[in-house]
Structures are given as C-alpha cells and as structure tokens.
Amino acid sequence: VPASSKVVRDERFATLDDQDIKHFSGIVGSKGLVVDKDELEVANTDWMRKFKGSAQLLLRPQSSNQVAEILKYSSSRRIAVVPQGGNTGLVGGSVPVFDEVIVNLGAMNSIISFDEVSGILICEAGCILETLDKFLADKGFMFPLDLGAKGSCQIGGNVSTNAGGLRLIRYGSLHGNILGLEVVLSDGTILDMLSSLRKDNTGYDLKQLFIGAEGTLGVVTKVAVLTPQKLPSVNVGFLACTDYTSCQKMLLEARKHLGEVLSAFEFIDSFALDMVLKHSGHRHPLPDAKEKFYLLIETTGSNQSHDKEKLDNFVETVLTQGLVVDGTIAQDNTQISNFWHIREAWFLQLPPLGKAGAVYKYDLSIPIKDLYNLVEILRERLGGLATVVAYGHLGDGNLHLNISAPDYDEKASFFFQIEPFVYEWTAAHKGSVSAEHGLGFMKAHAIHYSRSPETVELMRKMKAMLDPNGILNPYKVIA
Ligand code: FAD
Ligand code: 2HG
Ligand code: ZN
C-alpha cells in the first residue's frame, strides 16, 4: 500500500535538485550517498512490506557532525528527512511517505566506552542491538532490552520507538535505562545530553522527550545505557491454562512466588500457537494439551539449582491448584530457545512474510482484566472473514492482536469490522492504541484515542519549537 495514497504531499517541502545532491555528497562523501535503485527500493520499503515511499536519496552519515550538517542544510532548503535505523519498525515510521530523504544511522556503529563498575555503556546510535548484547555478554553483562528484531534493529531505533520487548517486566522501560543521549536537532544543533549518571536532577530531563519520539524531534546519534549483570541461571516453563481468568491469577502467583527471579511472563492463545505450529514445524511443547491459553514464564537468577527448584515447585503448586492443567519446564538450552521461538516464530510465518496475504497488527495496552475480551469480541465480529490470533507481554498488559486476512484492503468489509472499533474499544477501556511500537504513519490519525486534545496540542507546540520547518519525519506521529 503506498502510504501516499492516504495523505497529500506537503508542497512546502522542496524537491531535491542536483545542487542538493552535490551538497550532501560534500558532507557524507561518495560512500555515504546512495542513489542506487535497488538499495533505495529496500530502504523505501518497511519490514511489513506494507508501507512504501519513493525517496530518491539515502544518506549514511559517519559522524554526529555529518548528521548536523545534513539537517542544517535540509532545514535551510526545507528538505524533508526520515531518520532510519534497522527499518524493523512495525508502524510505517521508518520509511518515507513521499520523497523524503532517508538518513540511515547504520554507519555510526562504534562502541565508545563501557564501565564495568557502573555497567554503563556508551555507543553510537547505529549499533545493532544484538552486537551490543554480545559485546556485553563477553564482559558478563547484558542489554536490558531484548526483542525478536535484535539482529537488525539499532539502538537509536530502539530508543526512538521506546521499544519494550520481552523482558520489560524485569528490567523496566528505556525511560529508566537510558541515562543519556546525544541528539541532533533539525537546525543542526548537537544537543549533548550524554550523561552517564544514575542521578541528575538539574532541571528538566530533556532526553526523555526523544525516547519514543520516532524521529520527529531530532536524530539520536549517541546513547548511554545502564546495563545489568548477565546472570547464569535461566529457566523457562511452558504452561497451559483453560481460561483467561486463570492466566491472570497465574500472573499474581508468579509475582508472589518467583518475584525476584521472574524475567518474562508471555502469553500466546491457541489460535496463534496453532498457526505457529502449522507453519514452523515446531512440535507442541505440551502434545496432549488442548487448552486455549499458553504461558511462557522465564526466570533468571544466579543459582541454577535454587532457581530451577523454585520454578519446579511453582509449577507443581499451580498444577495442584488447578490454575494450569498441563506444563513443562525446559530441560536444556535447546528447549529454552525452542519455547521462545514458538512465542516469536509465528511472526515469521504469518503473511505477508511466509504466505500470500496480509496481517493487520494492533499493539495495545489494556487493563489486564479486560485484555482478552477484545480478542473474543473481534473474533465474533469478523466471523470467518479473517483469522484473529493473540499473544503478547501479558505481564505488562500488552496485547499483540494480529488479524490475518487475504490482503491489505482498507475498503474490504472485514476492515470496517476492525477499525475504528479496535481503537474505540481500547479508548473506552482506558487503554493505549500503541503500547510499544509507536504511532509512526500507521496510527498517526489515532493519537487522540489515547491522548487528550490538550496533550496533543502541547506535543504540536513542542514539535513546532524543535523543528519549526517540520522537516523531521513528516506525516508521522502527530501528523
Ligand atoms: P527503525 O524501524 O528504522 O525506525 C523506527 C522509528 O524510529 C522510525 O520512526 C524512525 O524514523 C525512528 N528512528 C530510527 N533511528 C533513529 C535515530 N537514530 N534517531 C531518531 N529517530 C530514529 N518492538 C517492541 O517494542 N517490542 C518487541 O518485542 C518488538 N519485537 C519485534 C520483533 C520483530 C521481528 C520486529 C520486526 C519488530 C519488533 N518490534 C518490537 C518493533 C520495534 O519498534 C523495532 O524492532 C525496533 O525498536 C526499531 O528499531 P530500528 O532500528 O529498526 O528502527
Ligand atoms: C513481539 O512482542 C513484537 O513479538 C511484535 O512486539 C508483535 O507485531 C506484533 O504483533
Ligand atoms: Zn511485543
């Protein structure tokens, strides 16, 4: 779907000319300037293959100064720009809508420093998340964020989406873990907020503004992050619950009994599990279970025999209580990664990646008690028109509602059963229409379901102050 079919190009933005290209070439050199059609095709297309822009130029700056020069010139010429990291975002925020210039941070991938006493890592924004995690693992530490896209996403992209991921329940959000940022503003000002202090109450904590700003307020160029120790003992249980009420009670019990070691509490419904098993070749971890809900519970601690015993006892107790009807604990690392893969593999199998078709994604925060009601209501609304599957970070109240349909067709009857209903229902239950993926282009129109008019107005004022020409990621977030 060309995103441009939904909005009109802002004609105040300049169209690139030869002089502009020459100027950019002078800033980034020939290796930082891409006009090759194939490379542009990839950079113009989002991970979902749903949104597609038509940028004619991709820039790969190699330093913060180069980013500053690019933005300063772009502001003066009113050239619109899309900051891009690993291009794994799921809301169409990382690709142009029209002909915006793509500024990809991938070439800025140096680790600047790591302090083993404090656990503070400072690096450039283009570092790949998995690379950082491996670097830290060698030193006995880990990155406090983990997600399925870690092999491609960049820390600058993670910060800009305020990614949540699989272990937020244990390590908290990036708003807490990011200690400092360097950000380039649209006029080329390099804002040095690269503090590496745990505590710093000198005035407003401005870096927080850029965490989750999705490239609309500035370009993140450097990041300081607090990293925890990598603990040696990881145990994972895969458990079956008959009903959603039991899943909720399980969360309470897991917090009570596994509190200090609990590192993930994920759920996947039988519709999602069936789809994963059908397409992935994985075996059902609980071959005899025919339940509707499955939980993946992970513990991470420092003492394997103690932690394993704890999880064993916990599973025993909840089985006896009848909160779960079947369960197994991974016996080795292969089984651990298989269980995790089942939680994540659905993703790779679903259309449009695996099969022909489309998947409509909704990433919602909903009070836990109401969360699954929406899934059931939608299933009923849609009848056989599309397949509704659900999974997500139940411990964080984050539902990933995925609707698999024949194709992307926002004029089809099934689509009218989904939107705006999903957003209205979420708002009516005091939820958020974007828990962790952001608004990007896909949900820019939906911001008002989760934010008051006064809040959105203040956001607009801040955007106008920081980016008066509106060149940074236009048509996104508060379009
Ligand atoms: P991109 O996709 O390139 O960009 C995302 C947004 O950030 C865009 O608006 C872009 O303009 C902006 N941006 C990128 N870099 C910068 C920068 N340096 N400065 C300013 N703005 C910038 N998200 C979760 O929260 N939890 C998950 O569990 C999760 N799992 C995922 C699993 C898979 C398989 C995939 C494909 C995605 C998943 N995501 C998840 C989505 C998530 O948003 C991204 O994977 C990741 O955080 C984006 O990083 P990126 O480098 O790819 O950014
Ligand atoms: C996950 O938790 C990701 O696996 C992706 O956030 C979820 O796209 C989705 O629905
Ligand atoms: Zn997620």
pLDDT digits (tens, 9 = 90+) for 47-64: 988 899 999 999 999 999
Q: Are 128 and 86 a contacting pair, CB within 8 Å? A: yes
d(CA 108, CA 31): 13
Q: Report if residue 475 sits inside a domain.
A: no
Q: Are 228 and 119 a contacting pair, CB within 8 Å? A: yes
Residue 189: give its domain's CATH number: 3.30.465.10
Distance 153 CA to ligand 2 centre (A): 14
Taking the CA of 362 as reference, the closest ligand is 2
Distance 87 CA to ligand 1 centre (A): 7
d(CA 70, CA 28): 9
The whole-number pLDDT of residue 266 equals: 98
Clarify whether residues 12 and 83 are in a common domain: yes
Phi, psi at 28, each rounded to 5°: -100, -10
Q: Which domain holds residue 62?
A: 3-107
Q: Report if residue 464 sits inside a domain.
A: no
Best probe residue, ligand 2, of 162, 267, 437 (max atoms within 8 Å of C-beta): 437
Clarify whether residues 118 and 168 are in a common domain: yes
Q: Which residues line ligand 1 (CB under 6 A)?
A: 47, 82-90, 93-94, 105, 125, 147-149, 153-154, 156-158, 160-161, 163-166, 214-215, 219-220, 347, 436-437, 440, 473
Q: Match 């005035």 to its residue by tokens.
A: 203
**Number of structural domains, the chain?**
4
Clarify whether residues 115 and 208 are in a common domain: yes
The whole-number pLDDT of residue 351 equals: 62
The whole-number pLDDT of residue 2 equals: 53
Best probe residue, ligand 1, of 124, 153, 191 (max atoms within 8 Å of C-beta): 153
The whole-number pLDDT of residue 346 equals: 67
Clarify whether residues 151 and 55 are in a common domain: no
328-344 confidence digits (pLDDT tens):
999 999 999 999 999 98
If DSSP codes are grouped into helix, strand and coil, which group holds residue 171? Answer: helix
Residue 410: give its domain's CATH number: 3.30.70.2740
From 476, 404, 401, 466, select the one nearest 438 (Cα to Cα): 476
Clarify whether residues 117 and 101 are in a common domain: no
Model's pTM, two decimal places?
Answer: 0.97
Q: CB of 402 closer than 6 A to ligand 2? A: yes
Phi-psi region for residue 351, left (φ > 0), alpha (ψ -120 to 50) or beta? beta
Best probe residue, ligand 1, of 87, 88, 162 (max atoms within 8 Å of C-beta): 88
The whole-number pLDDT of residue 410 equals: 85
Residue 250: give its domain's CATH number: 3.30.70.2190
Q: CB of 341 closer than 6 A to ligand 2? A: no
The whole-number pLDDT of residue 408 equals: 83
From 356, 305, 297, select the one nearest 327 (Cα to Cα): 297
Q: Report if residue 287 sits inside a domain.
A: no
**Residue 398 CA: which ligand 2 atom is closest?**
2
Distance 127 CA to ligand 1 centre (A): 13
Q: Which residues pair with 121 in a beta bridge?
A: 114, 225
**Residue 438 CA: which ligand 1 atom is closest?**
43
Q: CB of 120 closer than 6 A to ligand 2? A: no
Best probe residue, ligand 2, of 347, 375, 399 (max atoms within 8 Å of C-beta): 347
Q: Report if residue 214 sits inside a domain.
A: yes
Distance 394 CA to ligand 3 centre (A): 10
User: What ipTM was assigned to the predicted interfaces of this complex?
Assistant: 0.99
Distance 400 CA to ligand 2 centre (A): 6
The whole-number pLDDT of residue 405 equals: 85
Residue nearest to atom 6 of ligand 2 (CA): 165
Q: Report if residue 459 sits inside a domain.
A: no
Q: CB of 43 closer than 6 A to ligand 2? A: no
Q: Report if residue 335 sits inside a domain.
A: yes
Q: Report if residue 388 sits inside a domain.
A: yes
What does the block give as tokens for 283? 């075996």
Clarify whether residues 119 and 196 are in a common domain: yes
Angle between helices 333-349 and 270-280 (to 10 degrees): 100
d(CA 212, CA 425): 24
C-alpha distances out from residue 26 to 19, 35, 58, 87, 150, Å = 11, 15, 14, 26, 33
d(CA 6, CA 9): 10
Q: Report if residue 399 sits inside a domain.
A: yes
- As a residue count, the chain comes to 479
**Residue 148 CA: which ligand 2 atom is closest?**
4
Instruction: Give me the residues of the chain with pLDDT under 70, please.
Output: 1-4, 346-357
The whole-number pLDDT of residue 349 equals: 63
d(CA 462, CA 406): 41
Q: Are 145 and 167 a contacting pair, CB within 8 Å? A: yes
Give the other-Cβ count within 10 Å of 37's Cβ. Answer: 9
